[in-house]
Amino acid sequence: MRAVDAAKAHTAVDASRVAVLGGSQGGGLALAVAGLRDDVVAAVADVPFLCHYRRASQITDAGPYAEIARWLSGHRFRIDEAMETLSYFDGVNFAARATAPAWFSVGLMDKICPSSTVFAAYHRYAGPAQIEVFTYNGHEGGAEYDLPRKIAALRGAFGQ
């Protein structure tokens, strides 16, 4: 949120054309900012982390979701309480508030950000959204090979 404020205040930046972009944790944060602000023109969320905690903690033993499962295994009767708390930070809920055009990516073999958690955020996204699926990739998703698609998307969002 503050980074967008700083970018918009900079004299070299056209404040009407600011987008948020990130991968993994940065992708989850891009969703959060897009959901909390109505003044970004686009969002790019590559293999976004921090989405659908309940599902992720049930299907992957990769960290840090494994930490949630480990904690819940010792606190058997606090699952609903824990999931309610985590929902305040869940990219799925931020996506449901976001209206700027968005571009997602997902690696179907990603154990860190399981594809179903990314699809949950994508399907809840309130604005127009597209997703690029990398069938045989993990957490790297499209890596640098996906850069031309993202640049083209941002150019379109900026009206270039």
CA 69 – CA 47 distance, rounded (Å):
21
Token pair belonging to 48: 């976004």
Q: How far is CA 82 from CA 23, 45, 121, 151, in A?
A: 25, 25, 20, 38
46 is catalytic: no
Annotated catalytic, 24?
Answer: yes
Which of 24, 57, 105, 115 is the catalytic position? 24
User: Around Cβ 11, how many Cβ atoms within 10 Å?
Assistant: 4
For the chain, where are the alpha helices, taking DSSP H only?
A: 2-9, 25-36, 53-59, 65-74, 79-87, 91-95, 115-124, 147-157
Answer yes or no: 73 catalytic: no
Which one from 46, 110, 115, 146 is the annotated catalytic residue?
110
Catalytic residues: 24, 110, 139
